[in-house]
């Protein structure tokens, strides 16, 4: 057996997207020796795909904006299931986090008076999204990457070594977290390039691994989104909440087949784009739900006036929260009013001059031109729902990002609670920054307060190695690609955008069979850069997380945000008071109800009583 590579750090960050990099910067600035472990190359994380912007109530475009308004919008978007403390911290701190990016070198689009420009987005009352055209995620990731490089340059000056206090291990996969008793002691994984194993000893681990979209067939997520952090947390004894809530973004590409699911930014609608069915009708006016009736225009004239006069008009219903728009598109297609390739039409060509479209939506223009032969300045796009984001994740302490396991932290998409049952567009990038920073600080404080470092036992390492090598040791089993495709099809068809009891029960049966078959997966070749082996290991995580989603979705007998039950179509105020918590032990996945923490009264006072009556029980209101 080749000798095991070993490293020792104060803080390990798993994932190098926005949350991971911001956490690493914070931990390093707190004096921690910090390592970032990521599956892709440094700077390629899924955050680059974010297009529209970062929501932060800076009030640069409309000075009526404030953190209180942002908080209200976030709670409404999440149908009041959000962890209110997270929503509060997020709304309060997002402006600071955006301004800080400018000191790292970010270049946002500007207002006429030279401040950061802000754009409209679904569910946000005022123009609130700081942006760079429609490539805001790229700006965010590059800015954080360059900040990390600048910290490394400081270390080079001081120690003659760029990696003295902050090191990135790229193209590296973590397969298991390692514990010493009840506490985190490090992580075990392999270099994707060579397949060689590495043990990291560290008292604190921050999970920033993003989402789970690769368990679904039609998704905007990249291959990295296999629920690694969710599964690592579960296996380490932490709990997940809200796993039944999955956001289907209303506008993914539907044609050609090979790009089905790729995201079409919400900015298209924020900047004036409209949705039409095959009859040419702007159908969203027929889908304004009762709870939003007084906030959205009920006719095209008023909706159109809103773009120039927001004080005296209500916003167009194309800008309803994502769950509403996705369901509406789904219904139109089902009713036979869809586009030729099974979506609806999203048209900006008749709404803005061609030059303006190319300026505001350059990467959409490029994406459609190159991938679908469609010129969005002259033709409508065809779009349909795509699995985009998981609201559920590791249950954390809002202020520090700590999970229930000592030394284990989570930030960004892998954490749960902030977005309740549905995330607003633009609230993801701000979430990454606000809670990435908080987790970095939380982990640093934890490490500083330790009087004794945890130790890693050799047995744990032997076991982790054996688990990772298992697919090579078996013969005659199945190819991981086949299993992955079946999993994606089952989740898409049976636990997708519209759910029914019988279908979810069938999904759980299929998952049981897939789990059995996964026991005997076989991969060919050797450990060096072997995608079949990588997928076999990722499948273990996808299967575990999919089971949480299906089990939680089966239990929640109401429809709310990213969880729509055909057999329980309405929202139930009693269910708002309950969280579904997933845990794993030797018997597998269990899901239990837990009471939701009541909203603090001064935050409740930010809403009209009439609005609260739509969400809260009479008991809570009394």
Sole binder of another protein in the list 6, 41, 489, 520 (CB under 8 A): 41
369 counts as binding another protein under rule CB under 8 A: no
159 counts as binding another protein under rule CB under 8 A: no
256 preceded by cis ω (within 30°)? yes
Sole binder of another protein in the list 17, 95, 203, 316 (CB under 8 A): 95
Catalytic residue set:
249, 269
Structure tokens at 538: 């990722």
| Cα-based distances in Å from 105 to 61, 67, 139, 144 | 22, 25, 10, 9
72 counts as binding another protein under rule CB under 8 A: no
Least distance in angstroms from the C-beta of 337 to another protein: 24
Would you say 152 or 596 has its CB closer to another protein? 152
Would you say 180 or 224 has its CB closer to another protein? 224
Closest CA to 34 of 177, 200, 146: 200
Give the angle 560-564-567 at the CA atoms, nearest 5°.
115
Sole binder of another protein in the list 5, 31, 64, 150 (CB under 8 A): 150
479 counts as binding another protein under rule CB under 8 A: yes
Determine contact, residues 57/65, Cβ cutoff 8 Å.
yes
Instruction: Provide the edge-to-edge strand list for the sheet that holds 415-416.
Output: 415-416, 393-395, 240-241, 578-585, 588-595
Closest CA to 245 of 378, 346, 364, 393: 393
Contact positions with another protein (CB under 8 A) in 202-231: 222-224
Would you say 262 or 604 has its CB closer to another protein? 262
Least distance in angstroms from the C-beta of 311 to another protein: 25
What distance in Å separates the CA atoms of residue 598 and residue 607, rounded to the nearest whole number? 15
Would you say 470 or 614 has its CB closer to another protein? 470
User: Where would I find the beta strands (DSSP E) of 391-434?
Assistant: 393-395, 408-410, 415-416
399 counts as binding another protein under rule CB under 8 A: no
Contact positions with another protein (CB under 8 A) in 429-458: none
Question: Going residue by residue from 52 to 71, which x/- string records binding to another protein, judged by CB under 8 A?
Answer: ------x-------------
Sole binder of another protein in the list 280, 342, 531, 598 (CB under 8 A): 531
Element (H, E) at 245: none
DSSP 285: G
What distance in Å separates the CA atoms of residue 291 and residue 260, rounded to the nearest whole number? 32
Give the angle 105-111-112 at the CA atoms, nearest 5°.
125
Determine contact, residues 19/211, Cβ cutoff 8 Å.
no
Residue 277's contacts (CB-CB under 8 Å, 6 or more residues apart) are 283, 332, 337, 338, 344, 345
Task: Identify which range of 136-144, 332-340, 461-469, 570-578 contacts another protein by CB under 8 A.
Answer: 136-144
Sole binder of another protein in the list 351, 366, 515, 578 (CB under 8 A): 366
How many residues form the binding site for another protein (CB under 8 A)? Answer: 69
537 counts as binding another protein under rule CB under 8 A: no
152 counts as binding another protein under rule CB under 8 A: yes
Helices 18-29 and 136-159, packing angle to 10 deg: 30
- Cα 614 to the center of its chain, rounded Å: 27
| Cα-based distances in Å from 503 to 212, 351, 385, 513 | 20, 41, 20, 15
Least distance in angstroms from the C-beta of 617 to another protein: 41
DSSP 281: -
Would you say 157 or 336 has its CB closer to another protein? 157
358 counts as binding another protein under rule CB under 8 A: no
Sequence length of the chain is 622
Would you say 18 or 77 has its CB closer to another protein? 18
Least distance in angstroms from the C-beta of 155 to another protein: 11
Determine contact, residues 243/580, Cβ cutoff 8 Å.
yes
What distance in Å separates the CA atoms of residue 303 and residue 107, rounded to the nearest whole number? 32
113 counts as binding another protein under rule CB under 8 A: yes
Would you say 370 or 567 has its CB closer to another protein? 370
Would you say 114 or 181 has its CB closer to another protein? 114
Task: Identify which range of 141-149, 209-217, 402-410, 549-557 contacts another protein by CB under 8 A.
Answer: 141-149
How many C-beta atoms surround the C-beta of residue 90 within 10 A? 28
Would you say 170 or 404 has its CB closer to another protein? 170
614 counts as binding another protein under rule CB under 8 A: no
- Where along the sequence are the contacts to another protein (CB under 8 A)? 40-44, 46, 48-49, 58, 95-96, 99-100, 102-105, 107-110, 113-115, 117, 132-133, 135, 137-139, 142, 146-147, 149-150, 152-153, 156, 162, 193, 222-224, 255-259, 262-263, 363, 366-367, 370-372, 479, 481, 523-526, 528-533
């Amino acid at each position: 057996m080749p000798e095991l590579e070993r490293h020792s750090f104060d803080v390990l960050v798993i994932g190098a997207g926005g949350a991971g990099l911001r956490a690493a910067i914070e931990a390093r600035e707190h004096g921690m020796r910090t390592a970032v472990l990521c599956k892709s190359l440094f700077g390629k994380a899924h955050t680059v795909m974010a297009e529209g912007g970062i929501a932060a109530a800076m009030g640069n475009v409309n000075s009526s904006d404030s953190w209180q308004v942002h908080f209200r919008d976030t709670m409404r978007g999440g149908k009041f299931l959000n962890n209110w403390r997270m929503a509060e911290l997020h709304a309060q701190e997002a402006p600071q986090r955006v301004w800080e990016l400018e000191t790292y070198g970010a270049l946002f689009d500007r207002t006429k008076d030279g401040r950061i420009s802000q754009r409209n987005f679904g569910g946000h009352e005022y123009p609130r999204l700081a942006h760079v055209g429609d490539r805001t995620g790229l700006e965010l990731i590059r800015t954080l990457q360059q900040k990390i490089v600048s910290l490394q340059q400081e270390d080079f000056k001081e120690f003659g070594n760029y990696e003295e206090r902050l090191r990135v291990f790229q193209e590296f996969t973590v397969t298991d977290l390692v514990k010493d008793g009840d506490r985190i002691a490090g992580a075990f994984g392999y270099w994707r390039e060579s397949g060689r194993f590495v043990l990291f000893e560290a008292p604190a681990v921050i999970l920033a691994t993003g989402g789970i979209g690769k368990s679904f067939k039609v998704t905007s997520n990249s291959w990295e989104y296999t629920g690694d952090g969710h599964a690592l947390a579960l296996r380490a004894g932490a709990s997940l909440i809200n796993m039944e809530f999955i956001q289907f973004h209303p506008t993914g590409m539907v044609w050609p087949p090979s790009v089905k699911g790729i995201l079409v930014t919400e900015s298209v609608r924020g900047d004036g784009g409209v949705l039409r069915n095959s009859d040419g009708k702007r159908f969203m006016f027929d889908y304004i739900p009762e709870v939003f009736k007084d906030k959205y225009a009920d006719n095209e004239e008023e909706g159109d006036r809103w773009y120039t006069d927001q004080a005296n008009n209500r916003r167009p219903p194309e800008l309803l929260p994502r769950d509403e728009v996705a369901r509406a598109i789904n219904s139109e297609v089902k009713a036979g009013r869809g586009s030729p390739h099974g979506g609806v039409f999203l048209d900006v060509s008749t709404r803005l001059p061609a030059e303006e479209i190319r300026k505001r939506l350059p990467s959409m223009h490029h994406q459609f031109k190159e991938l679908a032969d469609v010129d969005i300045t002259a033709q409508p796009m065809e779009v349909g729902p795509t699995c985009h984001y998981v609201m559920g994740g590791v249950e954390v302490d809002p202020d520090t990002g700590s999970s229930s396991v000592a030394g284990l932290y989570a930030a960004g998409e892998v954490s749960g609670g902030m977005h309740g049952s549905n995330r607003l567009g633009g609230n993801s990038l701000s979430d990454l920054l606000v809670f990435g920073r908080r987790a970095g600080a939380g982990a640093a404080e934890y490490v500083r307060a330790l009087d004794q470092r945890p130790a890693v036992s050799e047995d744990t390492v032997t076991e982790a190695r054996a688990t990772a090598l298992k697919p090579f040791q078996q013969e005659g089993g199945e190819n991981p690609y086949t299993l992955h495709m079946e999993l994606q099809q089952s989740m898409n068809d049976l636990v997708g955008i519209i759910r029914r009891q019988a279908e979810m029960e069938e999904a759980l049966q299929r998952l049981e069979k897939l789990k059995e078959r996964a026991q005997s997966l076989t991969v060919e070749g050797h450990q060096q850069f072997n995608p079949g082996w990588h997928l076999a290991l990722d499948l273990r995580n996808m299967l575990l997380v999919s089971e949480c989603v299906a089990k939680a979705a089966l239990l929640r007998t109401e429809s709310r945000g990213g969880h729509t039950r055909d057999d329980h179509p309405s929202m139930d105020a009693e269910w708002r008071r309950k969280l579904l918590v997933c845990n794993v032990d030797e018997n597998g996945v269990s899901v239990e109800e837990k009471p939701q923490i009541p909203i603090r009264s001064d935050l409740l006072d930010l809403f009209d009583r009439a609005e609260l009556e739509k969400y809260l029980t009479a008991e809570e209101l009394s």
